[in-house]
């Protein structure tokens, strides 16, 4: 499971020009579910996202997590994070999990974030979404549940 986490001062997700979710201060998480990922990967990723200390404290150091910063999270499923373009110009997505499996793990991750006391909003699985954000910092963190980076 892979994610791109962006600290934002605002973000939203729309489908067909209708806003589904929006937040002010918080995190926008783009999530890719890989073939072979399990509940363990979803729980690890959710807990790691919740514990990341990437918000500034009173001294201007990134030392505060999302809950302590009073922020919210939008999680957007994005299978293209598993794209492999190393050998060609058209990425291969064969490592991405099948839609039903990916959706189950995506929802498990969102549920776990909510269980951690943080409001998690979502996009709409398997639709063409328009994602808008104002990256604060900019701060962008990459996570992989297999810890390959």
19 is catalytic: no
d(CA 121, CA 72): 8
d(CA 55, CA 75): 18
d(CA 2, CA 147): 9
**Of 19, 38, 80, 140, which one is the catalytic site residue?**
80
Q: How many CB atoms lie within 10 A of CB 39?
A: 12
Give the residue numbers annotated as catalytic, written as ranges. Answer: 80
């Amino acid at each position: 499971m892979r994610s791109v986490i962006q600290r934002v001062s605002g973000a939203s997700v729309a489908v067909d020009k209708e806003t589904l979710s929006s937040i002010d201060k918080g995190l926008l998480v783009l999530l890719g579910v890989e073939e072979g990922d399990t509940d363990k990967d979803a729980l690890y990723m959710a807990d790691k996202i919740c514990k990341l200390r990437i918000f500034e404290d009173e001294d201007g150091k990134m030392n505060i997590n999302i809950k302590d910063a009073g922020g919210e999270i939008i999680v957007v499923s994005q299978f293209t994070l598993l794209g492999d373009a190393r050998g060609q110009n058209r990425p291969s997505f064969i490592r991405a999990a099948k839609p039903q499996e990916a959706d189950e793990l995506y929802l498990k991750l969102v549920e776990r974030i909510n269980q951690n006391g943080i409001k998690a909003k979502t996009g709409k699985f398997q639709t063409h979404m328009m994602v808008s954000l104002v990256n604060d910092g900019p701060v962008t963190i990459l996570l992989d549940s297999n810890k390959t980076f």
